Homo-oligomer: A and B are copies of this chain.
Amino acid sequence: MEKTILTNMIMIEDGNGNVLVQNRMKTWKGLAFPGGKVEKGESFVEAAIREVKEETGLDIKNLQLCGVKQFQTKLDERYIVFLYRTTVYEGTIVSSEEGEVKWLPLDQLKEANTVEDFDQMLKVFLNKDTSELYYTGNTTTVI
């Protein structure tokens, strides 16, 4: 048995080269994809759908799990971020207090003011043959 903290982050693509980014205003500031915490006992996919609805106003489905980001916290818990992507959504974007959301070309995102490690996370989102970003101390490995 391990103590874990379960979270998610979701890349929504519009099919024209744009992705939906959130300008995070709280901790871990900068551009990232929307996401949040999984509630106790909640389905991982349903948690991702709920967070996207709350933070962007969009209803998403057909989520693909791309991989995970993970590290051990100072309390020796395993912190897991489930990384999903989808191209299927309905609705109009509405920002939340978590941060403004907007569409941005994916190739601009790579040079934008993103949150720490975002370039590493993008590898896991985009590369079919990598499924994980993990930390050993301060060192990151993408595998």
- Identify the A interface with B (CB < 8 A): 1-6, 40-41, 43-46, 62-68, 70, 72, 77-78, 84, 128-129, 131-132, 134, 141, 143
A82 to chain B, nearest CB (A): 8
A143 to chain B, nearest CB (A): 5
Q: Is the interface of A mostly helix, strand, loop or mixed?
A: strand
For this complex, 13 residue pairs linking A to B, each with C-beta atoms less than 8 Å apart, are A1-B3, A2-B3, A2-B6, A4-B6, A43-B134, A43-B143, A45-B143, A46-B143, A62-B129, A65-B65, A65-B66, A65-B131, A84-B131
Residues of B within 8 A of A2 (CB): 3-6, 40
- The answer for the CA separation of A37 and B2 in the assembled complex, in Å, is 12
Other-chain residue from B5, B65, B143 in contact with A68 (beta carbon distance below 8 A)? B65
A68→B40 contact, CB < 8 A? no
A83 to chain B, nearest CB (A): 9
Residues of B within 8 A of A77 (CB): 1
A11 to chain B, nearest CB (A): 13
B132→A44 contact, CB < 8 A? yes
A64 to chain B, nearest CB (A): 6
- The answer for the CA separation of A67 and B44 in the assembled complex, in Å, is 10
| Residue in A5, A46, A72, A131 whose Cβ sees the most chain B Cβ within 10 Å | A131
A124 to chain B, nearest CB (A): 9
B128→A64 contact, CB < 8 A? yes
